């Protein structure tokens, strides 16, 4: 029987699922969207603050400038605070609803394939069909397609295992 280069067994915890969801959301968000939203937020805050300080108007006009400042801060914090908070709540709810179907998993890296085994299935993915291996803050995502992936919590991997996985698709 062929021996894998790397083999690791783990159980997906609620925090692993939340981390994966947040990391995936960051992965799929185009960097241009983040930059545009932040620039618009800065512009809104600057215009609102300058107008609030320099333009003396009525109460309603002052309220409008304050609303513009609040909208600016909202857009500035969207990708760093608001979106992760929403994703965290959704992922926690999903985990709570489906935790009965979560089983331990074993991932094995061979010379020519990756295998993921759990109680409900066994996947064998030839190395040539790996789309991308993405290492994020808390998760290693092994993409088989642009939107389909397997994930391994980083907490279960040693530094040498992580280095091996990062270079695996390049070999």
What would the pLDDT profile of 79-127 be if each residue is shown by its tens digit?
A: 999 999 999 999 999 999 987 667 789 999 998 899 999 888 898 999 9
Q: Are 107 and 116 in contact (CB under 8 A)?
A: yes
Question: Looking at the predicted structure, is the pLDDT value of residue 171 above 60?
Answer: no
Question: Looking at the predicted structure, is the pLDDT value of residue 2 above 80?
Answer: yes
Q: List every span in the chain annotated with CATH 2.30.29.
A: 6-12+101-168
Q: Are 66 and 52 in contact (CB under 8 A)?
A: yes
pLDDT digits over 110-119, tens only? Answer: 988 999 998 8
Please tell me the class of the 6-12+101-168 domain.
mainly beta
Question: How far is residue 116's CA from residue 145's CA, in Å, rounded to a whole number?
Answer: 16
Reading the block at residue 50, the tokens are 């300058």
With both helix axes pointing from N to C terminus, report the angle between 14-28 and 83-98 in degrees, rounded to the nearest 10. 140
Burial class (CB in 10 A: 0-12, 13-18, 19+), 91: buried
Task: Count CA within 13 A, CB hemisphere, residue 133.
Answer: 20
Q: Are 22 and 91 in contact (CB under 8 A)?
A: yes
Question: Looking at the predicted structure, is the pLDDT value of residue 76 above 90?
Answer: yes
pTM recorded for the entire structure: 0.82
Mode of pairing for the β-strands spanning 6-10 and 139-143:
unpaired
pLDDT digits over 15-59, tens only? Answer: 999 999 999 999 999 999 999 999 999 999 999 999 988 887 788
């Amino acid at each position: 029987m062929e021996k894998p280069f790397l083999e690791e067994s783990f159980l997906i915890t609620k925090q692993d699922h939340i981390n994966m969801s947040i990391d995936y959301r960051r992965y799929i968000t185009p960097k241009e969207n983040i930059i545009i939203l932040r620039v618009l937020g800065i512009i809104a805050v600057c215009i609102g603050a300058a107008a609030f300080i320099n333009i003396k108007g009525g109460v309603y006009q002052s309220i409008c400038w304050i609303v513009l400042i609040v909208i600016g801060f909202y857009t500035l914090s969207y990708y760093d605070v608001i979106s992760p908070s929403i994703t965290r709540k959704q992922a926690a709810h999903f985990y709570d609803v489906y935790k009965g179907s979560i089983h331990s998993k074993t991932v094995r890296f061979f010379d020519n394939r990756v295998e993921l085994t759990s109680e409900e299935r066994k996947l064998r993915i030839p190395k040539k069909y790996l789309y991308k291996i993405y290492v994020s803050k808390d998760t290693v995502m092994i993409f088989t397609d642009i939107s389909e992936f397997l994930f391994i919590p980083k907490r279960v991997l040693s530094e040498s295992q992580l280095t091996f996985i990062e270079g695996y698709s390049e070999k």
